[in-house]
Structure 1
Amino acid sequence: MGVDEQTTDAAATAAAAPEENTTAAATPASSHRYPIAPGYRVNVRTGPGTSYRIVRTLPVGMKVPIYCQKPGERVTGPYGTSNLWCNIANGEFISDTYVHTGSDGYVAPRCD
């Protein structure tokens, strides 16, 4: 089971991580933006796992586009346990377990 992505986990914010070259699609699968779980500030990472470097933190109430998705580290969040990670910008990933997509599976194309 993965480390919780909520930013109250100080150890997670200090973690260094390997870089991964990931190309996101030019536009999201749709123009839809998905809400982050209510009450959570979510860490955005350079790859699909908690060992990747944190590049920023999404504020409470944020909605995000999902350009593509890929499997990675299995984590548990407010929407269950999954290994699915969402690419929300070029080289930026968040766990699908913190995004309300209405699905336990893919809602966007697989990342290259």
Structure 2
Amino acid sequence: MSIDESAESVAAAASAVRYPIAPGYRVNVRSGPGTKYRVLYTLPVGASVAIYCQTPGEWVTGPYGTTNIWDNIADGAFVSDAYVKTGRDGYVAPRCS
């Protein structure tokens, strides 16, 4: 990665919109878009996340409905959109490539 690409990455992260996790929930962050993927860590109650891209995966039911959308919140880290208050049904970020 060049210095310019690194600076762009840092700037994008700093300007990313953050979305709250459903109140009262501790949410598992997984290595892929489904509950069969390894748990990397758990978000604490009251956390918010930046969504860098979204991808379809396993269907999950949570406090914000039933969806197969998974939010990429860090490199190789995903949470179900059913636990993230985006204010919309459907995609709010580009599809992950």
Q: TM-score, normalised by structure 2?
A: 0.85
Helix, strand or coil at the partner of 2:37: coil
Show the counterpart of 2:64. 79
**Structure 1 residues 1-47: Cα deviation after superposition (integer angstroms, max 9, x where no partner):** xxxxxxxxxxxxxxxxxxxxxxxxx436x621000000000000000
Give the gaps of 5 or more residues in structure 2: 1-8
Show the counterpart of 2:6. none
Native 8 Å contact 2:16 2:52 kept in 1: no
Cα shift at 1:90: 0.1
User: Equivalents in 2 of 1:31, 1:72: separation in Å?
Assistant: 23
User: Equivalents in 2 of 1:98, 1:109: separation in Å?
Assistant: 19
User: Equivalents in 1 of 2:60, 2:48: separation in Å?
Assistant: 20
Helix, strand or coil at the partner of 1:64: strand
Show the counterpart of 1:11. none
User: Equivalents in 2 of 1:83, 1:95: separation in Å?
Assistant: 8
User: Equivalents in 2 of 1:45, 1:31: separation in Å?
Assistant: 20
Q: Does 1:61 align with 2:63?
A: no
User: Equivalents in 2 of 1:96, 1:31: separation in Å?
Assistant: 17
Q: Does 1:45 align with 2:33?
A: no
Bigger relative CO (Cα 8 Å, ≥ 6 apart) = 1
Q: Is the radius of gyration larger for structure 1 or structure 2?
A: 2
Q: TM-score, normalised by structure 1?
A: 0.74
Across the aligned residues of Structure 1 and Structure 2, the Cα RMSD in angstroms comes to: 1.0
Show the counterpart of 2:89. 104
More helix by share: 2
More strand by share: 2
